[in-house]
């Protein structure tokens, strides 16, 4: 189905099933521990052996020798595959560094061997017996030191966030120099880890020259194609299966060493092999969010209207890596005729930087929305008022291109009213509650809406049961449920008459889970397949498809009706189709918006910061399931607390690795850190986006939260922290005197 004109009225608008806050249909499996995650698929391949991955102990150089004699002789060992025994594997297009093979080391914990044994404990013990000799080379591990000579480099996150190396509109320097009120500040964000509960894990089994991998992957089609490239196999010889994923946050968008070494280990062992990466390897061997250094300059008239805005960001990555696209939202969020964005990329020898939840906008808004607060203070304006004053209904860089639907002002206004913003004392450090300094902060949220084609297959049987098959994944986001809701609405069925099968590369290729694009596009693909199934049902029953109404398990046209299952007959009916998009995304800017409000308390003696309450008001098109959408947003808000107050992958700048590479050293929020969270969805449909009239929402809940917390800390203490995370050491020596 080609979607090239705005959606009109369609069956989804009935909202009998879609739009309802239904429980997740996969919930019982997950709460009872029976959902089959990758490493636990004991049922899929008999006689599984265990693989343990060995990571390089240097960040740059070469492996000169590997003594595996003791490991090979250890109890239970079946096979050992080393990087010196394996030619350098092909590099898939989404990997910055090769995943295995050859002597060259490009980053710390690059995989150099896999030991296969009868048990996990035996594989781990034998791996520790391998003795590796290295020729270490000097490396570059310090972003700040490399930033000064970093070249301008454009980039695209492939998640709707991107920019050229430098982009200018109007005369920024002239307008900034002439502005009566100016801000020029630098902000930094650290390297961050995805820290998902389920590590990267795979089981691989060969049947002749055919490879099946049960894995934890957000993007099945990407993973299948990249694994085939890496191993030099025809794509039709590779199958990926990933029905349940225990968190990914962007870290499982790409092929990683677990799948590759499970496949190589299984081939060497002659039997299925399962591999799970240890936490240090998750941090250092897979991807992470790269650190940034961001300079923001804003010029405005005394009336508060922005006349000049510039956002420049520097990040680092491996030689063939991409920049963190932190300037993207600054191209679109606020008005202003004179504009400059630029990105620089330093070549570093750290592990690969790549997508982490809301790449681009998440770290970019951590800087921009502090700068907007600082500018509001310079102007003597309320921060909410300043943002509303600079709203725009068109792309500021291309005024002929309107936003398809933009309710940022409504998000901010309603959020301010709901949160009690009028009670905020604009003078920092004035509100106390015993030993606590209390403050409020806010920030705008922004995330682009990305359209990508997505397909599905739907089957109807004689019992009136509809089964949906698509390689879409569920990373804890509720894909099973919203896909079932879509099919139920389209076919006039209760949701318990729909079965959903996901995460198998034998199914039609979907949007996959990433970039906040999964829900809208995957359900639009199911919509397209159901339109085709409705036509087949009407034809089988002899009805005019334009007149046929589907409701309560029946099909009606005029004075005739029949049970839906009657059309299927003994053989059943099958329809397959997908959504493909025309040029609407070029004619309209499609984005999502939020207003984030936070109250914090800072201990006046210790600098300990506690978040007391949080509110997000979101405008993101039709909300397909308010219950699962709320879960997405509060999870994102929680991640925003982590980014603001604690998350920091600490780099050893001598040896080039992340020191705190496990869940003991890498701090993330726990239940005790998270207060009351409230989420409000504005009533919105966006017919330009898709037949579902929906947009993504999950990552929007993160974008802006870190800055809202930073602004609240400033309001509480009068201390402006521009270097995340806001740890107590950055507050202690500047706290107000206790009364």
DSSP letters, 683-718, are ----TTT-TT-B---TGGGTTTHHHHHHHHHHHHHS
Q: What pLDDT score does 22 carry?
A: 98
DSSP line for 630-670: HHHHHHHHHHHHHHHHT----EETTTTEES--STTTS----
Residue 43 has pLDDT above 90, yes or no: yes
Give the pLDDT confidence of 188-197 residue by residue, as tens digits. Answer: 999 999 999 9
- 699 is known as an active-site residue: yes
Say whether pLDDT at 157 is over 90.
no
pLDDT classification of 161: cutoffs 50, 70, 90: confident
Q: What is the pLDDT of residue 158?
A: 81
Please tell me the predicted confidence (pLDDT) of residue 738: 72
pLDDT digits (tens, 9 = 90+) for 551-584: 999 999 999 999 999 999 999 999 999 999 999 9
Helix axes 361-379 and 705-717, enclosed angle (nearest 10): 40
Q: What's the pLDDT tens digit per position in 453-483?
A: 999 999 999 999 999 999 999 999 999 999 9
Instruction: Tell me the per-residue pLDDT of 365-424, one tens digit each, with 9 for 90 and over.
Output: 999 999 999 999 999 999 999 999 999 999 999 999 999 999 999 999 999 999 999 999
What pLDDT band is residue 739 in, cutting at 50, 70 and 90? Answer: low
Position 42 confidence tier, pLDDT thresholds 50, 70, 90: very high
| Mean pLDDT rounded to a whole number for the chain | 97
Residue whose C-alpha is closest to residue 460's, from 530, 376, 544, 508: 530
Alpha helices in 186-246 (DSSP H): 220-231
Q: How many CB atoms lie within 10 A of CB 302?
A: 10
Annotated catalytic residue within 121, 400, 699, 737: 699
Task: Using a pLDDT cut of 70, give the percent of the chain over it.
Answer: 100
Residue 654: is it exposed, middle or buried by C-beta count within 10 angstroms (0-12/13-18/19+)? exposed
Domains and CATH numbers, the chain: 2-29+451-584 (3.30.365.10), 60-138+208-276 (3.30.365.10), 155-191+289-449+590-734 (3.30.365.10)
Query: pLDDT over 90 for what percent of the chain?
Result: 98
Q: Are 666 and 285 in contact (CB under 8 A)?
A: no
CA 131, CA 108: separation in Å to the nearest integer? 16
| Alpha-helix residue ranges (DSSP H) falling in 188-239 | 220-231
| Mean pLDDT for the stretch of residues 271-293 | 98
Rg of the chain, C-alpha, whole Å? 27
Average pLDDT over residues 219-247: 98
What pLDDT, in 10s, does the model give residues 609-662?
999 999 999 999 999 999 999 999 999 999 999 999 999 999 999 999 999 999
pLDDT of residue 642: 98
- 325-378 residue pLDDT tens: 999 999 999 999 999 999 999 999 999 999 999 999 999 999 999 999 999 999
Contacts of 298 (CB under 8 A, 6+ apart): 182, 183, 306, 308, 309, 310, 371, 372, 375
The DSSP call for residue 353 is: B
Query: pLDDT by residue (tens digit) across 656-713?
Result: 999 999 999 999 999 999 999 999 999 999 999 999 999 999 999 999 999 999 999 9
């Amino acid at each position: 189905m080609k979607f090239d004109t705005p959606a009109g009225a369609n069956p989804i608008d009935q909202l009998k099933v879609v739009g309802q806050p239904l429980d997740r249909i996969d919930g019982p499996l997950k709460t009872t521990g029976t959902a089959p995650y990758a490493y636990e698929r004991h049922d899929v391949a008999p006689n599984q052996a265990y693989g343990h991955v060995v990571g390089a102990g240097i960040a740059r150089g070469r492996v000169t020798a590997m003594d595996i004699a003791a490991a090979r002789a250890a109890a239970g060992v079946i096979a050992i595959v080393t990087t010196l025994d394996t030619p350098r594997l092909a590099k898939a297009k989404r990997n910055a560094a090769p995943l295995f093979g050859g002597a060259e080391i490009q980053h710390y914990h690059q995989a150099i061997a896999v030991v296969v044994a009868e048990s996990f404990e035996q594989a781990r013990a034998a791996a520790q017996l391998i003795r590796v000799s290295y020729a270490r080379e000097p490396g570059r591990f310090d972003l700040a030191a490399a930033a000064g000579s970093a070249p301008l480099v454009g980039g695209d996150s492939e998640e709707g966030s991107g920019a050229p190396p430098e982009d200018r509109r109007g005369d920024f320097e002239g307008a900034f120099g002439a502005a009566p009120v100016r801000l020029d500040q630098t902000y930094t964000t650290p390297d961050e880890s995805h820290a998902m509960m389920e590590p990267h894990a795979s089981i691989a089994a060969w049947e002749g020259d055919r490879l099946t991998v049960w894995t934890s992957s957000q993007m099945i089609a990407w993973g299948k194609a990249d694994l085939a490239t890496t191993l030099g196999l025809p794509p039709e010889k590779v199958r990926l299966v990933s029905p349940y994923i225990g968190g990914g946050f962007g870290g499982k968008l790409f092929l990683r060493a677990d799948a590759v070494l499970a496949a190589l280990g299984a081939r060497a062992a002659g039997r299925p092999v399962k591999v799970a990466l240890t936490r240090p390897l998750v941090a250092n061997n897979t991807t992470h969010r790269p650190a940034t250094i961001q300079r923001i300059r804003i010029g405005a008239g005394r009336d508060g209207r922005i006349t000049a805005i510039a956002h420049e960001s520097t990040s680092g990555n491996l030689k063939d890596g991409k920049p963190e696209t932190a300037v993207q939202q600054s191209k679109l969020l606020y008005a202003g005729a004179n504009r400059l964005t630029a990105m620089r990329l330093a070549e570093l020898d750290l592990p690969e930087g790549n997508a982490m939840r809301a790449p681009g906008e998440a770290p970019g808004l951590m800087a921009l929305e502090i700068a907007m607060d600082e500018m509001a203070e310079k102007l003597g304006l309320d921060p909410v008022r300043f943002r509303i004053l600079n709203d725009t209904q068109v792309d500021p860089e291309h005024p002929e291109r309107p936003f398809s639907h933009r309710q940022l002002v409504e998000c901010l206004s309603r959020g301010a009213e709901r949160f009690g913003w009028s009670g905020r004392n604009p003078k920092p450090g004035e509100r106390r509650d015993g030993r606590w300094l209390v403050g409020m902060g806010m920030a705008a949220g922004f995330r682009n809406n990305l359209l990508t084609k997505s397909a599905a297959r739907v089957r109807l049987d004689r019992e009136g049961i509809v089964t949906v098959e698509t390689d879409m994944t569920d990373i804890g986001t509720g894909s099973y449920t919203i896909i079932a809701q879509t099919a139920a609405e389209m076919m006039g069925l209760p949701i318990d008459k729909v079965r959903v099968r996901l995460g198998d590369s034998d199914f039609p290729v979907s949007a996959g889970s990433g970039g906040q694009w999964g829900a809208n596009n995957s359900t639009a693909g199911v919509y397209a397949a159901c339109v085709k199934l409705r036509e087949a049902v009407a034809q089988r029953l002899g009805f005019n498809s334009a007149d046929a109404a589907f409701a309560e398990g029946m099909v009606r046209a005029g004075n005739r009706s029949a049970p839906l299952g009657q059309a299927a007959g003994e053989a059943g009916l099958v329809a397959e189709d997908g959504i493909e998009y025309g040029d609407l995304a070029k004619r309209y800017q499609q984005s999502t918006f939020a207003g984030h409000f936070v109250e914090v308390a800072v201990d006046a003696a210790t600098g300990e910061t506690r978040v007391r309450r949080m509110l997000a008001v979101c405008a993101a098109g039709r909300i397909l399931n308010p219950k699962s959408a709320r879960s997405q947003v509060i999870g994102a808000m929680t991640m925003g607390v982590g980014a603001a107050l604690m998350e920091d992958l600490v780099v050893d700048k001598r040896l080039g690795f992340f020191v705190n590479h496990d869940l003991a050293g890498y701090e993330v929020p726990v239940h005790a850190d998270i207060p009351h969270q409230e989420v409000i969805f504005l009533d919105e449909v966006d017919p330009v986006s898709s037949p579902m009239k929906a947009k993504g929402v999950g990552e929007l809940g993160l974008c802006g939260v870190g800055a809202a917390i930073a602004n609240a800390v400033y309001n509480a203490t009068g201390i402006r922290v521009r270097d995340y995370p806001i740890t107590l050491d950055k507050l202690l020596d500047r706290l107000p005197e206790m009364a």
